[in-house]
Amino acid sequence: MRDDLGTPYDGPVESTRVVSLVPSLTEALASVAPERVVGATDWCTHPADLAVTRVRGTKNPDLAAIRALAPDVVVANQEENRELDVRRLRESGVTVWATRIETVPDAVASMERLLHALGWRRPTWLDEARRRWCGPLPPVARTVVVPIWRDPWMVVGARTFTSDLLRRLGWRNLYDGLGPDSLNAAGERYPHVEVADLDMAGADVALLPDEPYVFTATDGPDAFRRTPTELISGRLITWYGPSLVEAAALAHSPRR
């Protein structure tokens, strides 16, 4: 058995002590066996009542604290966690399962493989997510841009889970790097963009999530003169796990 990056996995047949360094994975694992999740980052906010040892952040985990928990396996992600931290954990004898996710089907398949590796049961939300998100693409209903940071302005770009999720909602991200009219010809994952250019991109709407930058009604919409804006849950468009079931409702949500 190998993880998403091809590293052989030598964990137990059934893991009972897991540390998660990824908020999405923490929520997903806690939905199956919360008592087996013994450590998580400070950014792992779901479920809200998860009682585990906190091991600092995704980019600066406390490796000593993780080792002290004696985990069967540490779960990480190629984008969210540093390769250096993963390597140091492995060099000290800690088993790490690394995920790589760029599309919604990637997320579903990755979660299926991870749960199989851990020896855990398959949750019902995972079946729902596969049914909802792994079929044919719907027609484009509207075009969007998705800022994720302000000063400097950054947007969701190419080969990202969020762009693929939006595409599967029928919302085309103008910075997704696809098509002849893409505004991200270089195919950057999170390009820097001048806000004036963003406002002139011609999108039907600018989606303003509440993470990683916390856009609010008074912080974000004020920068746009031409493009309508909508505040949106960052968790619903950037997390993979039980939130995928909730995110499906965005296709039918009223426009604000």
Residue 167 pLDDT greater than 90, yes or no: yes
- Please give the angle made by the CA atoms of 238, 240 and 244, to the nearest 5 degrees: 95
Residue bearing the bigger pLDDT, 18 or 178: 18
Interval 240-250 mean pLDDT: 94
Residue 253 pLDDT grade (very low, low, confident, very high; cuts 50, 70, 90): low
> What is the spatial distance between Cα 129 and Cα 133, in angstroms, rounded to a whole number?
6
Q: What pLDDT is recorded for position 254? A: 54
The C-alpha atoms of residue 213 and residue 232 are separated, in whole angstroms, by 12
Assess whether pLDDT exceeds 60 at residue 255: no
Domain spans in the chain, listed from the N-terminal domain onward: 18-132, 142-252
In this predicted structure, which of 23-32, 48-57, 172-181, 236-245 has the lowest mean pLDDT? 172-181
Superfamily of chain region 18-132: Nitrogenase molybdenum iron protein domain (3.40.50.1980)
Q: Which pLDDT value is given to residue 13? A: 95
Return the pLDDT at 184.
Answer: 86
Q: Token pair for residue 135?
A: 């079929």
Beta bridge partners of 173: 144
Place of tokens 């540490």: 74
In the predicted model, is pLDDT for residue 146 greater than 80?
Answer: yes
Q: Quick one: which of 208, 202, 148, 156 has its CA closest to 177? A: 156
User: Cis before residue 191, ω within 30 degrees of 0?
Assistant: no
Say if pTM beats, i.e. exceeds, 0.95. no
Please give the residue that has the higher pLDDT: either 184 or 37. Answer: 37
Are the beta carbons of 215 and 147 closer than 8 angstroms? yes
DSSP string, 167-192: HHHTEEETTSS-STT-S-TT--SS-B
Q: Which residue type is seen at 235?
A: R
The DSSP secondary structure of 202-254, one letter per residue, reads --SEEEEESSSS--BTTBSGGG-SSS-EEEE-HHHHH--STHHHHHGGGGGPP
Quick: pLDDT tens for 182-233.
788 888 999 999 999 999 999 999 999 999 999 999 999 999 999 999 999 9
Instruction: Compute the distance between CA of residue 80 and CA of residue 23 in angstroms, rounded to an integer.
Output: 9
Give yes or no on whether 18-132 and 142-252 have one common fold. Answer: yes
Domain 142-252 has CATH 3.30.360.10: no
Question: Is 70 exceeded by the pLDDT of residue 256?
Answer: no
